[in-house]
């Protein structure tokens, strides 16, 4: 299995660009002298970065510490990398009593996206991940005969969500929140930083959220990583308070040509064929995260309609390397 970490290539600070990992510094933001601090940590199977500014360094350190604790709490509930997480226990036993309000909230958002997208996004695709992973280890590709019984276990409607318990209603079902939890984490970190009075921040939990503006009162600018051997699109500017999530056929692949990868069409059990990478801009990072999978399933002629229906913007690269932009995040 080949795993490529999604990379945030840089962000705009005034007229320049700064790469991840630069030294903490002081910068004047909106005519207020502010100190910048960073945190790097491992989470959700990747490296996460937090960068924030505040005039008071003690307040800033406390804010970043609480943000890290929020990420750890989300991992303990939603990460499949943790065998003792709430979702891992749900998958083992088929039932989870007294789920947290945060977990039921994320699952409810997932259900909403599933319903509105006719199942294009589905958190119950974990059986497909298990099947394709095993097939890769065996050096094979799942046949339609093998895929059919696995697809029968993928059904967002068969995940019963109730404040007292979560239940998987089909034997062999499994839930993965890898397509929404990192976006949720970015949203929660943003809320935590705001509660400490942080007004300017850049958050990378594998998906990206922001607070305030970059130095010079300009929007944060993001570079999207293109497919190998193709050109990059112009940088993306995020409106204040918006977030961006990206999914790509390069992140985890099951075939050298990237025809088969970790984004599954719940209806076919295989990967969609139109797009190589999809970035979605939305007011919520959790929503943006989930919608990257919806757009991956979307044929070119439905892109504008889909962006308008959800009130988001998207930047997509086709398998042939062509870039497409739809929606208007400032509208």
pLDDT band at 329 (very low <50, low <70, confident <90, very high): confident
In CATH terms, 213-331 corresponds, of 3.30.465.10, 3.10.520.10, 1.10.1330.10, 1.10.10.10, to 3.10.520.10
Would the pLDDT of 27 be above 90?
Answer: no
Q: What is the mean pLDDT of residues 99-125?
A: 97
Q: Are 121 and 263 in contact (CB under 8 A)?
A: no
Number of Cα atoms under 13 Å in the Cβ half of residue 321: 6
pLDDT tens profile 95-110? 999 999 999 999 999 9
Q: What is the mean pLDDT of residues 146-165?
A: 96
Per-residue pLDDT, 7: 40
pLDDT tens profile 64-80? 999 999 999 999 999 99
H or E element that contains 114:
helix 101-116
Mean pLDDT in the chain? 86
Q: In angstroms, how far is the first alpha carbon of the chain from the final one?
A: 41
Would the pLDDT of 196 be above 70?
Answer: yes
Q: Where in the chain is the domain with CATH 3.10.520.10?
A: 213-331
Q: Where in the chain is the domain with CATH 1.10.3980.10?
A: 86-168
Q: Which two tokens stand for residue 159?
A: 């995940």
**Which CATH number describes the domain made up of 86-168?**
1.10.3980.10
């Amino acid at each position: 299995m080949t795993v490529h970490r999604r990379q945030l290539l840089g962000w705009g600070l005034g007229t320049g660009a700064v790469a991840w990992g630069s030294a903490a510094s002081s910068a004047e933001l909106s005519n207020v002298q502010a100190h910048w601090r960073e945190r790097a940590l491992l989470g959700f199977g990747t490296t996460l970065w937090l960068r924030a500014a505040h005039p008071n360094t003690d307040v800033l350190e406390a804010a970043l510490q609480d943000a890290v604790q929020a990420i750890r709490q989300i991992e303990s509930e939603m990460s499949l990398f943790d065998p003792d997480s709430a979702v891992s226990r749900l998958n083992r036993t088929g039932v989870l009593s007294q789920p947290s309000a945060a977990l039921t909230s994320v699952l409810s958002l997932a259900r909403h996206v599933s319903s509105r997208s006719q199942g294009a996004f589905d958190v119950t695709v974990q059986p497909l991940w298990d099947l394709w992973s095993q097939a890769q280890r065996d050096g094979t590709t799942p046949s339609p005969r093998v895929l059919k019984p696995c697809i029968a276990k993928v059904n967002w409607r068969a995940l019963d969500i109730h404040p007292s318990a979560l239940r998987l209603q089909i034997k062999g079902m499994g839930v993965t929140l890898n397509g929404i939890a990192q976006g949720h984490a970015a949203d929660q970190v943003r809320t935590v930083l705001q509660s400490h009075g942080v007004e300017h921040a850049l958050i990378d939990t594998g998906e990206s959220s922001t607070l305030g503006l970059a130095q010079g009162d300009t929007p944060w600018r993001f570079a999207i990583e293109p497919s190998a051997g193709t050109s990059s699109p112009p940088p993306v500017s995020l409106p204040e308070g918006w977030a961006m999530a990206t999914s790509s056929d390069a992140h985890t692949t099951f075939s050298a040509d990237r025809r088969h990868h970790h984004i599954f069409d719940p209806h076919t059990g295989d990967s969609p064929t139109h797009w190589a990478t999809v970035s979605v801009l939305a007011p919520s990072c959790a929503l943006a995260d989930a919608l990257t999978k919806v757009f991956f399933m979307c044929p070119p002629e439905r892109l504008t309609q889909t962006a308008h229906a959800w009130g988001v913007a998207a930047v997509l690269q086709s398998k042939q390397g062509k870039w497409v932009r739809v929606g208007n995040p400032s509208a």
